[in-house]
């Protein structure tokens, strides 16, 4: 565990921006075993950098940890920090993936950003890092192609 104090177990405000958000990591209790972990954020929100209008997405993050796991409260707060942040769909999705890779150094990570339409067109963004170990079963992310995302 890092020497800094984790956000877990104490009141923590939503950070003002992704740049001010802290992601915490904790030791993987099974570093000798390849397995996948999934986080979903079905109500991810950010702002259009042009109009300032809200954009919504369903994010699915899958990773095969190495030495580290992302601490879930810090991930929740980091994702919430985007709610007043202006960025394009592609930027948000890829930046989240890259920040997690930098923090965790996972064996594999993929993120799917399933964005609700703006201007009548959904924009889905997918990014991955590393190669999925052959021994790991990873199901489909389970987000339906756009039909009202319901």
Q: What is the pLDDT of residues 108-142, one digit of tens each?
A: 999 999 999 887 888 999 999 999 999 999 999 99
26-130 to CATH, choices 3.30.1360.170, 3.50.50.60, 3.30.56.10, 3.30.1130.10: 3.30.1130.10
The pTM for the full model equals 0.92
| Residue 83 contacts residue 17 (beta carbons within 8 Å) | no
Beta pairing partners, 114: 58, 124
Kindly state the DSSP code that residue 84 receives in the 8-state scheme.
G
pLDDT for 51-82, tens place per residue? 999 999 999 999 999 999 999 999 999 999 99
1 pLDDT band (50/70/90 cuts)?
very low
> Domain-by-domain residue ranges, the chain?
26-130
Q: What are the DSSP E strand ranges found in the chain?
A: 25-27, 37-47, 54-64, 68-70, 108-115, 124-130
Residue 3 has pLDDT above 70, yes or no: no
The catalytic residues are 48, 55
């Amino acid at each position: 565990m890092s020497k800094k104090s984790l956000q877990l177990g104490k009141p923590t405000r939503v950070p003002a921006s992704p740049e001010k958000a802290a992601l915490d990591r904790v030791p993987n209790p099974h570093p000798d075993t390849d397995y996948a972990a999934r986080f979903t954020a079905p109500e991810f929100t950010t702002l259009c950098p042009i109009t300032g209008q809200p954009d919504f997405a369903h994010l699915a993050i899958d990773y095969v940890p190495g030495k580290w796991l992302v601490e879930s409260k810090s991930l929740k707060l980091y994702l919430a920090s985007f709610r007043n942040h202006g960025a394009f769909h592609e930027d948000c999705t890829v930046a989240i993936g890259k920040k997690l890779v930098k923090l965790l150094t996972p064996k594999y990570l993929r993120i799917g950003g399933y964005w609700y339409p703006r201007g009548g067109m959904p924009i889905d963004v997918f990014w991955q890092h590393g190669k999925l170990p052959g021994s790991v079963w990873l199901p489909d992310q389970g987000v339906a192609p756009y039909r009202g995302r319901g």
